[in-house]
Amino acid sequence: MLTTLTAPAFAGTWYIEDGDITISAGESGNNVTQNENTTENDPDTIITNREEGASSHTVTIDAKDKDDKVEVTLKDVNIDASSRNEAAVSVTGKGDTTIELDGDNELKSGAGHAGLEHNKTDTSGELTIQDKDNNGSLEAAGGFKGAGIGSAGSNDAQVKITGGNITATSDDWGAGIGSGSYGTGTVEITGGEINATGGYLGAGIGGGCNGSGNVTISGGTITAAGSDGAAGIGGGYYNGATVTITGDAVIKNASNTKYGAGIGGGNGSDGNVTISGNAKIENATGGYGAAGIGGGAFSSPDKIGNGNVVIKDNAKIDNVQGGAYGAGIGGGIFGLSNVTIEGNTKVNATGGAGGAAIGGGAGAENNSDNNGNQITIKSNENGSPTINAVGGGTDEGEEIVIGGAGIGAGCESDADADITLEGKVTITATAGKDNVAIGANGIEQEFSGLAEGSSITRYDSEGNDITLPTDPVPAVPSSSGGSSADASVQESVFPGLVVTDKDGQRISYTSIRGNNVLSLRVGRFTASLHASLSTLRQLRAEGIDTITFQTILCSTTLSVDELLAMGGEDAEAVLTHRFTVSSLTVG
């Protein structure tokens, strides 16, 4: 005959070496059972180890009913249940469970289980991991198909982390934090120092193999690495993700080496990513064929990784790098982009070889609605965006001989790029080899109607300035320390100065006057600047002592005084640029 003994309530410290522990909600505390003995209404349940070595005994927390609340402290616990093929700590029930971390805790589970396991169902409650005293850590390792923290294989997961120094790893097919294989990983992180590594085909944070990721990060410092085919933060192999990074979250590094995005989709899947608030991405790197932020790599004609990305408010992207063929921000190989960047944002993006920095992956085509890459960059009441976009280069080993656009389409892509700039923007865009800085299909896109203070600077892959005459340009700083407000821009011509094309026909140019410097820009490979010496004397009288003339591949700076010394009253100075060569005649 089995008899269960019930002890009176007291603040309990429970030693895991003494046997498996089961905890449920009581009327005014926890009901704790170990070795068939139950203590009711324990007000402060602390589970710890008596010895340093790992115990194979397990902890089961069952917040059975919807209104149940169970709070448990793990204090210097060391559990290794791998030999039993069980979960070291499992959380079940319709009610909510909170686990407080004190000291250094280690959990290791057996095959099919998460290190700290919580399987989400339609009726399950919420698991929260916290560290109120800022003195706790947790190392959790899942078994085959199980997450480090989250669900067992073939189960969905729900995890909320508000603090703690947490390291989570999985064996093959599981996420570091999120779901095991074939499950959806729903993860919310509001604080803590997190280091999460997915097992083979699993995301660092998000979905396991064939599992999607639903991840919200609003605080904490995060490092996450996905394994083959899975995102650092986002979807597992063959699955997509919805990722929101906001608040004061700092992503130190989100990475993958093959087929998965740094942040976004797994292999063959879309990445839907929103980065907002004061969030900061210090580094995000896509795996081979995938975007740094956005879509995963192509896996089949109907499994293409498109990137749907919104970056807004005061978010900062310090460095994002696409994998080979993938965009920095946008689509993986063959994938399109739908990217919006707005507000007081700062973005530094580089495409993988052949991919755009911001836009599409290599080889992308318009979708079934005949839409290509959709890119919007605009200011709003929060401020104006500052963008540095460097198109992906070439890779002879991968036979990538054409680079990607700075903003627009990747190489060997028939996809269009519908690029919209609104309000005030500051953009520096560099083309990959034989591609455009901003645009698609070999055409540099032109813009008009931008707000005062905007600037667009374009470079080719060799670093030559290819800024268009219609582009707003940065104000020329005053040599006497004056503000940029002293500069003026004229969109057509400066009186008395004429620019002609290679056939001798007059063409328009952009002129910028900043105190003692007059800069002239024209978007041609070959052009000539004509100035009579009488015009130069007038400019000198107005305080201009230096003229710069800039074409696509060449820039020349001239001293007005030196020009005046070279000719008579009616002489004309002609400065001609032919590709990279300049020549000057005065006569």
- Dihedral through CA 213, CA 145, CA 199, CA 357, nearest 10? -30
Look at residue 536 and give its three-state secondary structure.
helix
Please give the pLDDT value at position 119: 96
Q: Of the candidates 284, 309, 196, 287, which has an alpha carbon nearest to the alpha carbon of residue 237?
A: 287
Q: Mean pLDDT check: name the lowest of 195-199, 405-409, 489-493, 556-560.
A: 489-493
**Cα separation values, 424 from 376, 378, 385, Å:** 12, 7, 8
Q: Which two tokens stand for residue 132?
A: 């109120």
Please give the pLDDT value at position 276: 99
Please give the pLDDT value at position 489: 39
Asked whether residue 478 carries a pLDDT value surpassing 60, the answer given is: no
- Calpha distance 540→245 (Å, rounded): 55
Please give the pLDDT value at position 567: 74
**Model confidence over 362-381: pLDDT tens digits?**
999 999 999 999 999 999 99
Half-sphere exposure of 27 (CA within 13 A, CB side): 2
- Mean pLDDT of the region 147-175: 97
Asked whether residue 269 carries a pLDDT value surpassing 50, the answer given is: yes
- Calpha distance 69→88 (Å, rounded): 21
Q: Please count the other Cβ atoms lying within 10 Å of the Cβ belonging to residue 539.
A: 24
- Mean pLDDT of the region 344-364: 97
- Mean pLDDT of the region 484-510: 67
**Model confidence over 1-23: pLDDT tens digits?**
333 444 444 458 999 999 999 99
The DSSP secondary structure of 135-153, one letter per residue, reads -EEEEEE--TT--SEE--T
Domain locations in the chain as residue ranges:
44-239, 276-474, 488-586
Look at residue 273 and give its three-state secondary structure.
strand
**Model confidence over 411-464: pLDDT tens digits?**
999 999 999 999 999 999 999 999 999 999 999 999 989 998 899 999 999 888
**Reported pTM:** 0.81
Asked whether residue 283 carries a pLDDT value surpassing 80, the answer given is: yes
Q: How many residues does the chain have?
A: 587
Looking at every residue in the chain, the average pLDDT score rounds to 91
- Mean pLDDT of the region 507-528: 81
**471 CB contacts (<8 Å, ≥6 apart)?**
446, 447, 455, 456, 457, 458, 510
- Calpha distance 265→260 (Å, rounded): 6
- Calpha distance 404→496 (Å, rounded): 40
**Model confidence over 25-78: pLDDT tens digits?**
999 999 999 999 999 999 999 999 998 899 999 999 999 999 999 999 999 999
Please give the pLDDT value at position 474: 64
The DSSP secondary structure of 448-489, one letter per residue, reads --PPTT-EEEEE-TTS-B---TTS--PPPPPTTS--GGGEEE
Asked whether residue 88 carries a pLDDT value surpassing 50, the answer given is: yes
Q: Mean pLDDT check: name the lowest of 489-493, 547-551, 578-582.
A: 489-493
